[in-house]
Structure 1
Amino acid sequence: MGETIKNRRQFSIHIFIWAILYSVILFLLYSEGKEITLKICLRIAFGAVIFYTNYSLLVPHLLLKKKKILYLLSIIILLIVAYLIISNVFHFDFYKNQNLLDKRPSKFIIIIFFNAVIIIIGIVIRVYEQWIENDKIKTKIEIQKNKTELEALKNQLNPHFLFNSLNSIYSLTVKKSNDAPEAVIMLSELMRYMLYKTNDSKVLLKDEIQYIENYIKLQRIRIAKNENVKTNIKGIITSQKISPLLFISYIENAFKYGTDFKGNTEVEITISIADSELHFKCSNNIGNKAKDKESSGIGMQNTKNRLELLYPNKHWLTTVEKDNKFWVDLKLKLD
């Protein structure tokens, strides 16, 4: 449908341009006192035949396919054929004043020159249109590639999140905690959000923050000594939107490795919103649990890749491991 509309638009533009050109040439001939005959009209129209032979056939099938020598030979043949047809079939006097016969360029030069101009114009227009078309195709391929990469990253993230959450609930069931049923309900809410709301490229910021708060509640249920688990949401949240699941990997990592050998967990999460800018900070103590570089790295590298695709030149990310703490500092421009 889109291609049909484009072709119709292009056809209309060509008709409009030829109508104007045709009218101008006829007006100039009339103003010089020439009689507008059928032969003259056909001669002018023959220019369009030359143009479209080159524009629609020779350029796309030879020049744009790198068959330059064959194209050049075809153009020479086209010019010769055009000269023979114009000089024998559509012949008319180029000069009203025959006394200037000795000073005028030859008929051959005039015919070749004007047809060469028509051919050059056809080359320029067709090559430019092809460049525009190639640029559009390249953009579409890039967009599709980004969508595919984002979908793959998201598909990696969901199982990663689920496995970590199930491990948290498993630890509660092992301890026979009364909080296990509530944790299962909390997990179902989290999964509902991930399955049904994150299919869109953007979600409401308030929904994403609610999701984060629910996840932190789930972790509080799991952790016995959670008094040092702190969250702080600052700023006015209205209708801002954000790409979903950008922070969860850092928060997961904080809870996974933020417990020391005494079982104390220290995690601090701050989200500040100021107009169209969001500032996310997350810190945790580096506990005694051996770090699984493969599993912990997947989520954070996943998030880094998504940020580069979704917020190019619109985010600033810093991760630092210092003084037995791991810090994440992320700023990004919201839509």
Structure 2
Amino acid sequence: MSLLPVLTALVVEGSIRQFSLHSDSLPGYALILLQLAVEFSPLFLTQWYSQKYSGVQKALVWMGGFIVYPAINLLWISELSGNKTLFSMQGEIIAVCLSLLYAVHQFYQQQQQKPGIWRKLLNLDAVVILLLFCWAFTMTGMFVYTDDPLRNQPFPAIIDFGKMWDNLGLTFYFLAQFLVLASMIFSYYWLNRYLFIRNILAKHGMVAYLMSSCVFVFISYPLLVFIAMQLPWNLPEFSVTPSQNYNPFAPDNFRFATAVWLVSTPIILVFERQQTSLQLAELEQSQLSAEIKMLQQQVNPHFLFNTLNGLYALCLKNAANAGDMLLKLADLLRYTVYQGQKKRVLLQDEIDYLQNYLSLQMMRVDNKCELNISIPSIPQDATIAPLLLVMLVENAFKHGVEPSDEKSWVTIHLEIIDGQIQFECTNSLAPKHATHEQEGGVGLANLKRRLTLQYPQSYQLSSEPTGAAEQSETNEPTEKYWRATLCLPLN
């Protein structure tokens, strides 16, 4: 899509040249387009490369292709080739204007994606007002440059700012009247958008919109033309109206009003569709953010209840480590409150949180569990969504360690391979503990939903029992254990 401005300029320039030759030859037209494609190739490359840069670099690349190359082509290459090139100033101007228009459009779309002053200013109403003012100012400049412009038509399309400054009274005289005409056109646009499209079309359908539009245009156009005929620049022999006479019901006036209405309708519908899509996307993003925060909040009570139960048991025993356990619990809750609400946290902070959590759990289970941890050095700028890893570890203690009356174990291993975080947590299972219980519950369902929202189609999660295959092959009882693995892209 970034090459579309140059491609459009090429086709327009080729069509203009074909028209000027008064030729109906399709092969000749194809040869014109082919030669223009070769001569426009530096512009295509410039337009494509400029999208890879921003700021000053983008401006320099763009100027190199759209300013330097055309200057060399027009001043040097065309002379060497005996003016056989098709690249002209006309094609250059079209390409530059379309490229700049595309850049403005990109800027507009970027600003529409984020709130702020630009989003309020860069709306369709403001664009229409700006375009109408530019039209009024341009026509004023040409009227001021030409003596008695209404009688000396067609007049040259020249604007002399010095002459406009020297004749401020005449400039404001013409500008005010052109602004009156522009306000009439804007009134058609405004009523079409806010009354007929947003209310009649949206609520009552196409048939009601077409009929009501027809009624409005038939009634309004003679009234607006009558107002235009009262402007002081009108001459006795003709008026500045589409019909150029003093008949407000002339067919030309109706055709112009209808054309304004018909041109404004698709433009409005396109922008309304874009705004609706943007609002729906923002609403969906807001709902997803709210759901993620809700899921993160579900971590806190689930972990809190388990830990408070252990703390209560220690207090009943008058254990000396109850105070240390309470302090660690406070640190963990502080992390979940302040860091758990963020989209991303440092991976090292998440590992520190996990290690504090494990220390707290080991204080609870005393000597009942053997813990093995293997975690390498973590890059300082590596980030991850908060409170993901702890969910798998929490499941290991909840379903593997706590229900067991015998010696249990938990092994945690983390690796960073090819830009991926690979986390594995395995734990022993109680002999009579149902293996399917560990894959249920709020914790794992919460984790899967958060991964779907925060790492869509870029994560791998498995949680399943192992050991059953070995038992069936050897016919000897083997220890069953649970393995949970999680693979995430490293930010």
TM-score interval w.r.t. the shorter chain? Answer: 0.7 to 0.9
Matches for 1:124-273 after TM superposition, within 5 Å: 124-173=266-315, 177-221=319-363, 222-227=365-370, 229-259=371-401, 263-273=406-416
Residue 214 of structure 1 deviates from its aligned partner by: 1.3
Residue 20 of structure 1 deviates from its aligned partner by: 3.7
2:430 counterpart SS class: coil
RMSD: 3.7
Residue 202 of structure 1 deviates from its aligned partner by: 2.4
1:77 correspondence with 2:215: yes
- Relative distance call for 1:296 and 1:159 in structure 2 (3 A) is farther
Write the distance in 2 (CA, Å) between the matches of 1:243 and 1:111.
63
Residue 55 of structure 1 deviates from its aligned partner by: 3.2
Q: Is the 8 A contact 1:255 1:265 kept in 2?
A: no
- Relative distance call for 1:111 and 1:187 in structure 2 (3 A) is same
Q: Out of 433, 455, 470, which is 1:311 matched to?
A: 455
- Relative distance call for 1:178 and 1:305 in structure 2 (3 A) is same
2:127 match = 13
- Relative distance call for 1:32 and 1:298 in structure 2 (3 A) is farther
Write the distance in 2 (CA, Å) between the matches of 1:188 and 1:94.
79
- Relative distance call for 1:203 and 1:184 in structure 2 (3 A) is same
Q: Is the 8 A contact 1:50 1:82 kept in 2?
A: no
Write the distance in 1 (CA, Å) between the matches of 2:153 and 2:446.
75
2:381 counterpart SS class: coil
One-letter amino acid of the structure 2 residue matched with residue 330 of structure 1: L
Write the distance in 1 (CA, Å) between the matches of 2:327 and 2:487.
32
One-letter amino acid of the structure 2 residue matched with residue 185 of structure 1: L
Q: TM-score, normalised by structure 2?
A: 0.57
1:329 correspondence with 2:485: yes
Write the distance in 1 (CA, Å) between the matches of 2:260 and 2:330.
70
1:305 counterpart SS class: helix
- Relative distance call for 1:111 and 1:25 in structure 2 (3 A) is farther
Write the distance in 2 (CA, Å) between the matches of 1:204 and 1:277.
15
Deviates more, 1:290-299 or 1:189-198: 290-299
Q: Out of 22, 34, 57, which is 2:153 matched to?
A: 34
One-letter amino acid of the structure 1 residue matched with residue 488 of structure 2: L
Q: TM-score, normalised by structure 1?
A: 0.80
Residue 230 of structure 1 deviates from its aligned partner by: 0.8
Q: Out of 427, 452, 455, which is 1:284 matched to?
A: 427
One-letter amino acid of the structure 1 residue matched with residue 459 of structure 2: H
Q: Out of 184, 189, 202, which is 1:64 matched to?
A: 202
1:271 counterpart SS class: strand
Provide structure 1 residue ranges, at least 5 long, that are not aligned to the other structure.
97-105
Residue 191 of structure 1 deviates from its aligned partner by: 2.3
1:234 counterpart SS class: coil
- Relative distance call for 1:217 and 1:32 in structure 2 (3 A) is farther
Write the distance in 1 (CA, Å) between the matches of 2:325 and 2:198.
65
Residue 121 of structure 1 deviates from its aligned partner by: 2.1
Q: Is the 8 A contact 2:296 2:340 kept in 1?
A: no
- Relative distance call for 1:35 and 1:83 in structure 2 (3 A) is farther
Write the distance in 1 (CA, Å) between the matches of 2:482 and 2:215.
75
Q: Looking at both structures, which has the greater relative contact order when contacts are Cα pairs under 8 Å and sequence separation is at least 6?
A: 1
Q: Is the 8 A contact 1:254 1:267 kept in 2?
A: yes
Deviates more, 1:321-330 or 1:69-78: 69-78
Q: Is the 8 A contact 1:250 1:328 kept in 2?
A: yes
2:110 match = none
Write the distance in 2 (CA, Å) between the matches of 1:58 and 1:3.
29
1:103 match = none
1:317 counterpart SS class: strand
Write the distance in 2 (CA, Å) between the matches of 1:195 and 1:183.
18
Write the distance in 2 (CA, Å) between the matches of 1:256 and 1:43.
76
One-letter amino acid of the structure 2 residue matched with residue 322 of structure 1: T
Write the distance in 2 (CA, Å) between the matches of 1:7 and 1:153.
34
Residues 149-191 of structure 1 show CA distances to partners (whole Å, capped at 9, x for unaligned) of 2232222221110111223334545666544443333323322
Q: Is the 8 A contact 1:236 1:274 kept in 2?
A: no
Write the distance in 2 (CA, Å) between the matches of 1:226 and 1:220.
7
One-letter amino acid of the structure 2 residue matched with residue 166 of structure 1: L
Residue 94 of structure 1 deviates from its aligned partner by: 6.7
Residue 312 of structure 1 deviates from its aligned partner by: 1.5
- Relative distance call for 1:111 and 1:216 in structure 2 (3 A) is same
Residues 10-62 of structure 1 show CA distances to partners (whole Å, capped at 9, x for unaligned) of 45422331134446678699699438997x95667644443333234322221
Provide structure 2 residue ranges, at least 5 long, that are not aligned to the other structure.
1-114, 156-172, 230-237, 468-479
Residues 56-83 of structure 1 show CA distances to partners (whole Å, capped at 9, x for unaligned) of 4322221233343332222212332355
1:99 match = none
Residue 255 of structure 1 deviates from its aligned partner by: 1.8
- Relative distance call for 1:76 and 1:271 in structure 2 (3 A) is same
Write the distance in 2 (CA, Å) between the matches of 1:122 and 1:153.
46
1:167 counterpart SS class: helix
